Amino acid sequence: MEPVTTTSTDTNLDRPKEARLLATLSPSRASDFKQCPQMFKFKSIDKIESPPTVYQARGTTAHLALQRLFDLPGPEREPQRLYDLFRAAWMELKEEEYPTLFESVDDERAWGIESLNVLANYFSVEDPRSLEPLDRELDMLEDLDGIVIRGILDRMEETTDGLIITDYKTGKAPPERFADKAFFALRIYALLIRHRTGVTPDGLKLIYLTGPTVYQVPVDDEQLDSMDTQLRELWDTINTAITTDSFPTQTSRLCDWCSYQDICPAFATDDPEPS
Ligand code: SF4
């Protein structure tokens, strides 16, 4: 875990609390709050930036490469083309978003080789030549009658199992008994699709490239109605937290991956600084 090094100069904290109430909520920010309200505050209210990690860089670059893979005609969607797209995407993103991520060329090269090995797994779980997604990297912004949800949906396709919403993860899958939690964001996207198109998706699919592992579950109106209720409650809970300035810490094993651990009250020590 890398420490937080950059404190935002955003003036959000200077604004009245009412002006800081949610305007929109993304599935990932909703997940943040569910995981730990204090982490949500650091990230979304205080806007404290955390240093980018090699894992984030791999995820962003792989998403762009996989998105562009489907710009190619079906028969050309071969592994070598995906690797080339990954390299090209990295050259674009590196300068803009990750200029100081690697200390040496050797570190960057080792990361690149590992990333291509992770990407190679994609072809063992799916044949992109046989898929024609309806949408990729779809910008969703839906007003669900008073709560506004925004996010980017990775991919959606019509298959023999019906309309499927798919999300790529470059990391490792959680054990199957914990997998249901991982579908939280995809259920929100399914709700947004139903709201936008009037069509209820049939399934949700998570592709974890490290492993690789694929989890797919059915989805229906009952689940989406329940998600709608859950999101409204979460929206209200977050706004209450903002107006009362109450963001409790929620420690878990995920704290080991939290960039804010060194400024988190749950990990504060009373030891005075050595003089
Ligand atoms: S270290 Fe743990 S408790 Fe602290 S903000 Fe991060 S997730 Fe929350």
- Please give the tally of structural domains in the chain: 2
Which of 35, 251, 259 has the most ligand 1 atoms within 8 A of CB, as the residue to mutate? 251
What CATH number corresponds to the domain at position 181? 3.90.320.10
Q: Do 154 and 213 reside in the same domain of the chain?
A: yes
Range of the domain at 220: 132-229
Q: Do 171 and 190 reside in the same domain of the chain?
A: yes
Cis peptide, bond prior to residue 133, ω within 30 of zero? no
Does the C-beta of 249 come closer than 6 Å to ligand 1? yes
Nearest to 184 by CA among 156, 215, 139, 162: 215
The encoded tokens of residue 207 equal: 């592709």
Atom of ligand 1 lying closest to residue 250 CA: 3
Q: Do 63 and 80 reside in the same domain of the chain?
A: yes
In a domain, 199, yes or no: yes
Q: Do 186 and 217 reside in the same domain of the chain?
A: yes
Global confidence as pTM = 0.88
Atom of ligand 1 lying closest to residue 261 CA: 1
In a domain, 145, yes or no: yes
Q: Do 123 and 139 reside in the same domain of the chain?
A: no
Q: Which residue has the higher pLDDT, 131 or 11?
A: 131
In a domain, 270, yes or no: no
In a domain, 83, yes or no: yes
Q: Which residue has the higher pLDDT, 253 or 200?
A: 200
Average pLDDT for the chain: 91
User: Could you tell me where the DSSP H helices lie in the chain?
Assistant: 27-35, 37-40, 54-69, 79-97, 105-120, 122-125, 179-182, 184-197, 221-244
In a domain, 266, yes or no: no
pLDDT in tens, 36-83: 999 999 999 999 988 899 999 999 999 999 999 999 999 999 999 999
pLDDT in tens, 148-182: 999 999 999 999 999 999 999 999 998 888 888 88
Q: Do 158 and 225 reside in the same domain of the chain?
A: yes
Nearest to 113 by CA among 83, 91, 88, 85: 83
Position 6 pLDDT exceeds 90? no
Q: Do 70 and 138 reside in the same domain of the chain?
A: no
Position 138 pLDDT exceeds 60? yes
Average pLDDT over residues 185-209: 97
Atom of ligand 1 lying closest to residue 35 CA: 7
For the chain, the first-to-last Cα distance in angstroms comes to: 26
Q: How far is the centre of ligand 1, averaged over its atoms, from the C-alpha of 260 (Å)? A: 7
Position 274 pLDDT exceeds 90? no
**C-alpha span between 171 and 140 (Å, rounded):** 24
Q: Do 148 and 183 reside in the same domain of the chain?
A: yes
pLDDT, residue 10, reads 39
Minimum CA distance residue for ligand 1 atom 5: 39
pLDDT, residue 272, reads 56
In a domain, 12, yes or no: no
Instruction: Please list the helix, strand and coil fractions of the chain in percent, rounded to the nearest 5, in that order.
Output: 50, 20, 30
Q: Do 125 and 138 reside in the same domain of the chain?
A: no
Q: Categorize the per-residue pLDDT at 19 as very low, low, confident or very high, splitting at 50, 70 and 90.
A: low
**C-alpha span between 240 and 234 (Å, rounded):** 10
pLDDT, residue 5, reads 43
pLDDT in tens, 227-270: 999 999 999 999 999 999 999 999 999 999 899 999 999 998 76
Among 129, 150, 178, the domain boundary falls at 129
Q: How far is the centre of ligand 1, averaged over its atoms, from the C-alpha of 94 (Å)? A: 28
pLDDT in tens, 114-134: 999 999 999 999 999 999 999
pLDDT, residue 271, reads 61
In a domain, 22, yes or no: no
Q: Which residue has the higher pLDDT, 107 or 17?
A: 107
Q: How far is the centre of ligand 1, averaged over its atoms, from the C-alpha of 149 (Å)? A: 24
Position 275 pLDDT exceeds 70? no
pLDDT, residue 7, reads 40
Does the C-beta of 33 come closer than 6 Å to ligand 1? no
**C-alpha span between 101 and 165 (Å, rounded):** 32
Instruction: List strands edge to edge, sheet with 203-210.
Output: 135-143, 148-159, 162-172, 203-210, 213-218
In a domain, 71, yes or no: yes
